Amino acid sequence: MYELSSVVKIILIEDNPGDVRLIQEMLGQNGLSDIHLHVFTHGKAAWEYMEVLAIRMEEALPDLVLLDLHLPGRDGIEILHHIREYKRFQTLPVVVISSSPLDENIQQAYLNGANCYLIKPMDLPEYEHILIHCIHFFTRKR
């Protein structure tokens, strides 16, 4: 498969505790339990963290952001737009993960700088396969 960067840091912005737990389990079951997963369950908290990270140049950037669209406090499109406003985050991969297949949501995500838009499939093995491959793609050594 792919070789990951030495220490992989992923920010997961997801308000559903079941989805957070599912992603954590998927990582563990695929030999990725050593990934540092920083979870935010509220859009406002994620927004504020990204603002701090934007100005603290000594702080290492995450390797990947996994972003839900429907969040309390700030929605995913607002957060994505906010992330892309900062020059420091221009190359930071952001993967939107949503259950919404609406073209409007997909277009808004890409217009605001998403690198990828994953629609959560109802089939768990398919979801796991797609998500793990996406994580490998965006965090592998270049």
Summarised one tens digit per residue, pLDDT across range 49-59 is 999 999 998 88
Read off the pLDDT band of 34 (50, 70, 90).
Answer: confident
Residue 74 has pLDDT above 70, yes or no: yes
Length of the chain: 142
Provide the percentage of residues in the chain whose pLDDT is more than 90.
Answer: 78
Secondary structure of residue 78 in the 3-state scheme: helix
Distance, CA of 13 to CA of 97 (rounded, Å): 10
Q: b/e string for 20-46 if b means 16 or more Cβ within 10 A?
A: bebbbebbeebebeebebebbbebebb
CATH architecture of structural domain 26-62+69-139: 3-Layer(aba) Sandwich (3.40)
Look at the block and give the residue holding tokens 């808004």. Answer: 108
Residue 108 has pLDDT above 70, yes or no: yes
For the chain, the structural domain boundaries read: 26-62+69-139
CA nearest to 9, candidates 44, 48, 49, 55: 49
Report pLDDT for 33: 79
Read off the pLDDT band of 141 (50, 70, 90).
Answer: low
Read off the pLDDT band of 76 (50, 70, 90).
Answer: very high
- Global model pTM greater than 0.95: no
Distance, CA of 26 to CA of 33 (rounded, Å): 9
Neighbours of 114 (CB within 10 A): 23
Report pLDDT for 1: 47
C-alpha distance from residue 132 to each of 34, 43, 46, 71, 94 (Å): 14, 24, 23, 23, 15
Provide the percentage of residues in the chain whose pLDDT is more than 70.
Answer: 94
